[in-house]
Structure 1
Amino acid sequence: MACRLADSGFTVKVMSSNLRAPIHGHRFVSTFPTGTSYLMWETLPLCKSNHQRYTIPLRRGKTVKSVASPATEPNPLDSAEQRKELCESYGFRQIGEPLPDDITLKNIIDTLPKTVFEIDNTKAWKSVLISATSYALGLFMISKSPWYLLPLSWAWTGTAVTGFFVIGHDCAHKSFSKNKLLEDIVGTLAFLPLIYPYEPWRFKHDRHHAKTNMLDEDTAWHPVMKTKFDESPIFQKAIIYGYGPIRPIMSISHWLIWHFDLNKFRPNEIGRVKVSLACVIAFMAIGWPLIIYKTGIVGWIKFWLMPWLGYHFWMSTFTMVHHTAPHIPFKSSEEWNAAKAQLNGTVHCDYPKWIEILCHDINVHIPHHVSSRIPSYNLRAAHKSLQENWGKYLNEASWNWRLMKTILTICHLYNEERNYISFEEVAPEISQPITFLKQVMPDYA
């Protein structure tokens, strides 16, 4: 344990064969003014360190030998006071304590009520009715709104069509119906207005759940590797924009890159992928010309493109908030721990009530990662159970400006010790987009 002796100015490290565990929260004493020193210690509550060193008052006690060594910093998540400070800084309501290493995902799942896994056909079809009705209302609003109210109509309709995604999402996780063929049909149809091929998304998304917050293997968003950033000087500015100002619609790029390339899928998946791609192509070949024939190009923009962009805003935002924060690590496959990734590495975020209703509680996201078999209409009951049994380990927030500012201006490049490094730190000469965001985005939570 590195520390600094009061009035001496040199760094020392505890070296004792009798100490089996790291010495956190101990007070040390020097018996020699310079050089190699002997330190005496006694138990003390963990002191707060912001600069990787400790100031040590002199007292009597038991001696242990020390040598000069670079200072190290304790994990700030171990301290309740520091977690509270991080909450205020990042825009969180609660930052969870680190989950103990001996807790498994099965331990967590076993505490959930069995009722949260039950499929209820009435509730499932009620969600379909809500999405279909709200989407139809949105299209009606677009058709009747004057130009200055169109943004509100687009916001409603884009949020409503996001509900279709959540229904397809449940189908892909086999938590919509006991009839699996029906699930695949409903999932495919729900994804069509979004131009999302259902089967490619399902295969990709299953890997996200199996490898959540695994640095290279997770198929959702993860930090940029600094080596890759350095290797692509031509694209560095584009990467900065993609992880900065335009990140709230970057799921468009993710949609295009991940779902239409047959080389990204296993041989036994290709057949189903082709069927989904054929459905999407057929929808575009029939639906788009029909919209243009009835309403013109401007109508296609008003009735399809703008709500589609609204959907991608939510798709990008939800995905960012679910797993991205300065204190949430991405781990290599060797260090990865399933329970920590799913419980500790997922964020619950509260949005305005109308968004929660139209999007079928998809942002009650921690129980969904604990077990993807939980239907969306049971997520709140499952989250309540997790709060009762594992509440101190949960990351929770309400959607706010500071939360978004933290993600857009800090969570960029991967760093083993710090999790994230901002583009401003490694490439300040081309990071004006990030500097601009820091200046214009509000700080209030």
Structure 2
Amino acid sequence: MSKSSEDLALPGPSSSMQRMETKAKCSDSPLPEFTPLPWTLAEIRAAIPPHLFLRQTRRGMAYLIRDLAMAAVAWELATLIDPFYARQHVVERLGPFGAECARWAAWLVYWWFQGLIFTGVWVIGHECGHGAFSPNQNICDAIGYIVHTLLWTPYFSWKISHHRHHCNHASMERDEVYVPKTRSDLGIPQEGSDVEFDYDEFFSDTPIYTLYMLIRQQLFAFPAYLICNVSGQKSYPKWTNHFSPNSVLFSPAQREAVLVSNLGILTMICIVSFASKTWGTAAIIKYYGIPWLCVTHWFIMITYLHHTDPELPHYRDAQWNFQRGAAATVDRDFLGWMGRFFLHDVAHFHVIHHFFPKMPFYHGPEATEYLEAFIGEHYRRSDKPVFRALWDNYNNCQFVDDEGDIVFFRNKRGQAVRRPASCTRQ
């Protein structure tokens, strides 16, 4: 079992006295204390009934077929939008301007729901990458490769780095994505230093600029991560990406898989180029391009909010272990029934997924009940509206300290909302 930060301190009377003095200094802090998860992964797994770990190929295929059928129906209905609002009796009844407004409103409805449907298909590919879709890995890889390639994700390359993310989540030294910036990364002096620092001046972005940066993140962060390792592990060399078989992300034995992923993306380039020449670029953008942008938006929003929150800890090696990293995420009520139906509960029950990535999503709700009952306050859930949470967390999660084995995000005024139970490592 992993030891707490107090257990790791050197033994002896002098060490005990130092801890007592440090705690006395920290006792005046108004911040609530945080104690790391104490249980082993085996103890946590034993608290969850074995049948919830069973994977059913037929059930996974049923969800995939349902999603593809919904996508086809939505696409077919979208072909009726422009002809319908161009009809003479519709234009006469609504007026030219009203008919045009109604036409674009119909397209917005299509983009919203088709984007959610496409994201659900992407989630199925994500399940395949973890081996949660079927007990047969060949089936997982075949399905995952097809659906992820159709949505511009290099399946095997992303599967490899995503697996490493799960193995190292919330580790400052080894996590693959959403690694927090530190004080030194931003040039902010250490707390308590003699250097004067004006947080208000340093973080004086206007709300409009913040909104621009947030929109940029939502639309382009995933391609930027795949191409240039944006928000990834800072220790990687420059130009680390998911497309070079020689990238530090991959071992020599994984290079063929990277090339197969690249072949899929090249095939998609050819397909979309042919479709654009045949039906027109505007049509491809309307029917496929904008829903795909919605996929990147929803996927980034979901993952960002899972892993970025002022109350979630990040660990350095002395305190990190797998189960503590798994608990450093949060379940969210994401879009209510739409998030549960179209997105396969990927946002509502993400904590259990980090503990047991091979558990199928359809067992997530029941398994989460057992998980929460066992780990208690270490389970985190937020019912805050997700767009509000996105804005708040983007503003409040700016950086973490360079020192300390357990660190929490600080906001634009350098303030945190939690602190480790022992301040000896801060």
Alignment TM-score, normalising by the size of structure 1 = 0.70
Alignment of 1:6-405 (within 5 A): 74=29, 76-78=31-33, 98-101=35-38, 103-145=39-81, 146-230=103-187, 244-249=214-219, 250-257=221-228, 258-262=241-245, 263=247, 264-285=249-270, 287-343=271-327, 345-351=328-334, 352-363=336-347, 364-400=349-385, 401-405=387-391
Write the distance in 1 (CA, Å) between the matches of 2:344 and 2:42.
26
Is the 2:171–2:317 contact (alpha carbons within 8 Å) kept by the matching residues of 1?
Answer: yes
Query: Larger deviation: 109-118 or 293-302?
Result: 293-302
CA deviation map 1:8-41 (0-9, x unaligned): xxxxxxxx97977966xxxxxxxxxxxxxxxxxx
Is the 1:138–1:154 contact (alpha carbons within 8 Å) kept by the matching residues of 2?
Answer: no
How far does residue 399 in structure 1 lie from its aligned partner after superposition?
4.8
Measured at CA, do residues 19 and 189 of structure 1 come closer, stay the same or move farther in structure 2, by a change above 3 Å?
A: closer
Write the distance in 2 (CA, Å) between the matches of 1:382 and 1:118.
12
Tell me, which stretches of 5 or more residues in structure 1 are unaligned?
Answer: 1-15, 24-65, 79-96, 427-445
Is the 2:37–2:378 contact (alpha carbons within 8 Å) kept by the matching residues of 1?
Answer: no
Number of positions where the alignment pairs a residue of Structure 1 with one of Structure 2: 342
Q: Which among 396, 407, 414 is matched to residue 410 of structure 1?
A: 396
Measured at CA, do residues 185 and 17 of structure 1 come closer, stay the same or move farther in structure 2, by a change above 3 Å?
A: closer
How far does residue 182 in structure 1 lie from its aligned partner after superposition?
1.8
Amino acid aligned to 2:61: W
Write the distance in 2 (CA, Å) between the matches of 1:21 and 1:322.
37
CA deviation map 1:211-249 (0-9, x unaligned): 001113211212123333349xxxx99x97886453333
How far does residue 73 in structure 1 lie from its aligned partner after superposition?
5.0
Measured at CA, do residues 245 and 171 of structure 1 come closer, stay the same or move farther in structure 2, by a change above 3 Å?
A: closer
Is the 1:116–1:374 contact (alpha carbons within 8 Å) kept by the matching residues of 2?
Answer: yes
Is the 1:367–1:383 contact (alpha carbons within 8 Å) kept by the matching residues of 2?
Answer: yes
Amino acid aligned to 1:121: T
Is the 1:134–1:358 contact (alpha carbons within 8 Å) kept by the matching residues of 2?
Answer: no
Write the distance in 2 (CA, Å) between the matches of 1:261 and 1:228.
27
Amino acid aligned to 1:406: D
How far does residue 362 in structure 1 lie from its aligned partner after superposition?
1.1
**What is residue 31 of structure 1 aligned with on the other side?**
none
Write the distance in 2 (CA, Å) between the matches of 1:108 and 1:171.
24
Tell me, which stretches of 5 or more residues in structure 2 are unaligned?
Answer: 1-12, 82-102, 189-203, 229-240, 416-426
Amino acid aligned to 1:419: F
Hey, which of these two has a bigger chunk of strand by percent?
Answer: 1
Higher relative contact order (CA 8 A, sep 6+): 2
Q: What RMSD, in angstroms, separates the aligned Cα atoms of the two structures?
A: 3.0
Write the distance in 2 (CA, Å) between the matches of 1:252 and 1:398.
29
Is the 2:37–2:323 contact (alpha carbons within 8 Å) kept by the matching residues of 1?
Answer: no
Identity of aligned residues (%): 21
CA deviation map 1:369-394 (0-9, x unaligned): 11111011111121121122223321
Is the 1:142–1:302 contact (alpha carbons within 8 Å) kept by the matching residues of 2?
Answer: no
Write the distance in 2 (CA, Å) between the matches of 1:396 and 1:324.
13
What SS class does the counterpart of residue 362 from structure 1 fall into? coil
Write the distance in 2 (CA, Å) between the matches of 1:360 and 1:367.
14
Measured at CA, do residues 167 and 71 of structure 1 come closer, stay the same or move farther in structure 2, by a change above 3 Å?
A: closer
Measured at CA, do residues 291 and 75 of structure 1 come closer, stay the same or move farther in structure 2, by a change above 3 Å?
A: farther
What SS class does the counterpart of residue 330 from structure 1 fall into? strand
CA deviation map 1:317-363 (0-9, x unaligned): 111111111121222223313222212x0111122112211111112
Write the distance in 2 (CA, Å) between the matches of 1:21 and 1:425.
27
Write the distance in 2 (CA, Å) between the matches of 1:293 and 1:198.
27
**What is residue 409 of structure 2 aligned with on the other side?**
420
Query: Larger deviation: 306-315 or 130-139?
Result: 130-139
What SS class does the counterpart of residue 76 from structure 1 fall into? coil
Is the 2:244–2:258 contact (alpha carbons within 8 Å) kept by the matching residues of 1?
Answer: no
Write the distance in 2 (CA, Å) between the matches of 1:21 and 1:226.
27
Measured at CA, do residues 136 and 269 of structure 1 come closer, stay the same or move farther in structure 2, by a change above 3 Å?
A: same
Measured at CA, do residues 295 and 266 of structure 1 come closer, stay the same or move farther in structure 2, by a change above 3 Å?
A: same
Is the 2:154–2:261 contact (alpha carbons within 8 Å) kept by the matching residues of 1?
Answer: yes
How far does residue 181 in structure 1 lie from its aligned partner after superposition?
1.5
CA deviation map 1:65-85 (0-9, x unaligned): x89x9666558344xxxxxxx
How far does residue 153 in structure 1 lie from its aligned partner after superposition?
1.0
How far does residue 149 in structure 1 lie from its aligned partner after superposition?
2.1
How far does residue 125 in structure 1 lie from its aligned partner after superposition?
0.9
